[in-house]
Each structure stands twice: as structure tokens, then as C-alpha cells.
Amino acid sequence: MKERLKFSVIVTVYNLESYLEECLDSIINQSYENLEIICIDDGSTDNSPAILDWYANVDQRIRVIHKKNAGLVNARKQGVEEADGDYIVFVDGDDWIEPEMYETFAAEIKKNQSEIVIEGVTRDNIDKIYKVYNYVPAGFYDKAAMERTIYPVMLCTGNWYQFGITQYVWNKAFERSLISSVIDSLDEKVIDGEDVALVFPLMLKARRVSILTDCHYHYREIPTSMCRKKSDEYYTQVLYLKRNLEKNLLTSKYKKIIEPQLRQYMLHMLFNGMKSLFEVEAWVNVGAESFDYRGIRPEDTVILYGAGFRGQKCYKEMIQENICFVSAWVDRNLSGRRMCSRIIESPEDICNKEYDWIYVAVKEKNVADEIMEELEEMGVPGNKILWRQRIKKWDCFTVK
């Protein structure tokens, strides 16, 4: 690992003169200075090219490439081809980043040698500013942990519609050799879902991933940008996306767990088109809530924490539906009691047991947080503790 990593910052620009200076200022004023800044002008017809050239004269780290308009995927491909940094990061020319973003990335990479580092996102809406976090808990994940925790919910958590990992490219840092192995396989005809087409194949290839709770990237929600408005060709574009994702996701050994998520994602894309093109309301009918067991395999050994109403229901589901092997059932307040023909044990007994997971079956997040903190103080690895909100099953839609 180099003592001082170099980041290649790829800035894609198309007619963004109103926002470009704020974007570039936020990059050149990063606390982490070992950057090369590659600006791809995708055939802008406003004052963006002149602004880019001015900044290139001011800061020698900036390189500008003017090209004919060929779309976002093509612009990103050219940026990656030109880059020589250790890691690749992306910025859209109408967005901006906080000063500590790349310093945070560098520290995490140095600590864990992560091939991908993922943050949350701050969305700057006209009416409000709000943060979007990853559904998968923050932490470092090696390949085994990714297979258990990330891949089963990566594209769809089961809630309509929620990604397990934020789908954006610009809140992430990618090892250059990793992204170079995937980006050429992207179909340049994909202009809806470009980020999804790149991020999730990279996640399958990565061996070490870090998820952080920081939200340094500010995504500006404006009517026009390099994200095209939906057109009459939308469904053709969705078909290109579907074929590209099938090629890059379903040819892996993870096809079995990715394919159902991909179907749900493509259905989500079709709904988006329906609402936009036909100006109708479309929503999914949801049924009863279900426990979220994604990532748990029938051969896994699980300790169930919680013997209240929710814990009892969870235990019955795990046994009746062969979700996993429940090696122990613990609850501090109910230890010694018999439930479902089983003796409830004390949480302290966990220390003497082997397990793949500890599944916390309580309703309230603040209670779950206290339990997870207690378990980690007992020496339980955080990435072996699961607590998730119950999810709603969905299977059909209504149009109004």
C-alpha cells in the first residue's frame, strides 16, 4: 500500500455553467491534495468549456478533455482510460463535495485495504436537504462477510423500493484496476440506470469493501443535468439496461441470490416509466410483514436473541420454514423460562457457543441498538449480529 494514495477525480460535464464553479471549488479545496482531476466536457454548448479551461490554468492538477456529445457512460469510460491514480472517484459537474471526503476515503483504504469505499449521500433538494444511508450496516466486509450480508440485499432489500447498497457511483471510491476490469463491458446505449450497471458488477468482483456513515457528497436535485429526462424510448433503454445487467451479474456464481433482486429492480424501472410517460399513479400492493432473513442459509447456525412476542414468532418461522439451525435462544429477562418446548438461556451463555449469526428479534431500534452494543462488549463481532426492520411482501401493482 502506497504511503500517499492518488485519487483520480473524474468530473462529467454537460451544459452546467450555473453549478460548475461550486463543483470545481469543492474538489480543489479538498483537505486531501494528492489528486488528478479529469474533467470530461461531453459536448457542452454553454459556457462550461470556458469555465473548465480557466480552472485548468489555475490548478495544474486539472486536465480538461473536450469531446463530442456521446453520453454519460462514454464520458466515464474515457475518464477511467485517462486516469493513472490508485483509486477512481466520480463527481457530476452540478454537484459538490465536502472538504474531508477524500481524506476520509484515504484513511479507510489505508486501514483496511478496501477495494471499494462507500458513503451515504446528502441530497440537496429545492425544499429540503436530507441524508441517504446504506441499508447494509456500516463496517468493513471481507468476501465471506459480503456473501453473507451484502449480496442477499444488494439490489433490493425487499422493501419497495430500497437498495441494500446505494446505487450511485459518486459516493464511492473504486480501486482503479477493479473498475478497469468492468467499465468496458458497459453498453453506451444505457442512459437510465448507468450507475446501477457499473456499481453492482463491481461489488460482485470486489474482495474487500468498507461502508461508512459519512455523507460528504451533495447531490443537487435539478430539472436538467446529465441524467436525461424520460423519453418515448424509455422502455427500449430499460431493455438495454436489463441485458447489460444480466450479462454482468447473472453470469457470476451469485446468480441464485442476485436474479430475484434483479427482477424486482427491473419491475421498479418499469413502474418509473409508467408514472412518467403515462402520467399515472402506480404503486405496489403489499401484504403482511415478514422477517428479513436474507443472507441466512439453511445450513447456518444461528442464536436467536429475544423471546418476546416478536421473538417467539421469529423462532417458529425459523423452525417451520427451515430458515436455519437455531442453536440457542436467549433473552436476559426471560432466561430459564420454557417457550415452544425450549429453555430460554441467558445472553452470557453466548460466549460458550459457536454460531454464524446472532439474530436480534425485537421491534424497537433503540432496544436493538442496546442489545447489539451489549453483544459487542461481550466480544461478538459486529458483522455477525443481525437486526432488521420487518419487510412487507409485495407482488402486484395498481394503476389509477
pLDDT grade for 233, boundaries at 50, 70 and 90: confident
The mean pLDDT value for 293-315 works out to 90
When mean pLDDT is compared over 35-39, 254-258, 291-295, 308-312, the highest value belongs to 35-39
- CA-CA distance, 194 to 71, in Å (whole number)? 10
Sequence-distant (≥ 6) Cβ neighbours of residue 199 within 8 angstroms: 165, 167, 168, 169, 172
pLDDT grade for 230, boundaries at 50, 70 and 90: low
Answer whether residue 244 shows pLDDT above 70: yes
Q: How far is CA 281 from the centre of its chain?
A: 27
pLDDT for position 392: 65
pLDDT for position 370: 94
Range of lowest pLDDT (158-162, 286-290, 396-400): 396-400
Closest CA to 348 of 381, 380, 385: 380
**What 3-state class would DSSP assign to 284?**
strand
pLDDT for position 225: 47
Answer whether residue 276 shows pLDDT above 80: no
Q: 195: which 3 cell numbers? A: 450507475
Domains within the chain, CATH numbers bracketed = 7-220 (3.90.550.10), 234-286+393-399 (no CATH), 301-391 (3.40.50.720)
8 Å CB contact between 137 and 213 = no
